[in-house]
Amino acid sequence: MKYKLMVKTHLITNLKYLCVTTKKDHHEYKGSGKSWRRHLQENGSAIKTELIYESNNWEEFSNVCIKKSVEFDVVNSTEWANEVIERGGGEYPVDNNGKRIVTIKKSSFSSEEEMLEFCKNSKWFECSICKSIMTENAFYGTIHRKCKANADFQMIPYNK
């Protein structure tokens, strides 16, 4: 799987957004951050995309994402729409293959460290339908409604 790190820049306001995708055509990916999506709704979706790094190695990719997040100061700078540093899998933890691990909302935690500590100490399950890996809490939320409606749905214990 090819992981791609990009800088999206709004053509009217010049606001930037650091993001990742595994899509073949990375220009199609608009970004998923709340502030960024809200900015696109308010100002239109005229953006340019600069691919700044790509790799098949998720660990190496994640390290570059973190390094670039710090270098650009994406969280603190008003030039960037990012609310959290990019780790290669959005604001949520990912497994060793770069697959997103869905947890409860980040706003439930007072800090990113608290969220990651919760994730480290949680019991994990894999969805038998979409193969997402998540905590037991996420299965009971609305986030996973479609898979739970399937008759073949199972929560398979997952060992990290």
Flag whether 12 is in a domain. Answer: yes
Give the sheet arrangement for strand 133-135, strand by strand. Answer: 101-102, 133-135, 124-127, 155-158
Sign of the dihedral defined by the CA atoms of residues 138, 62, 20, 83, in that order? positive
Domain that holds residue 41: 3-72
Number of domains the chain contains: 2
Q: Is residue 87 part of a domain?
A: no
**Whole-structure pTM value:** 0.59
Residue 30 to residue 37: CA distance in whole angstroms: 8
Cβ neighbours of 148 (radius 10 Å): 15
pLDDT digits (tens, 9 = 90+) for 32-83: 888 899 999 999 999 999 999 999 887 788 889 888 988 998 888 999 998 8
The pLDDT confidence band at residue 12, using thresholds 50, 70 and 90, is very high
Q: Are residues 55 and 17 in the same domain?
A: yes
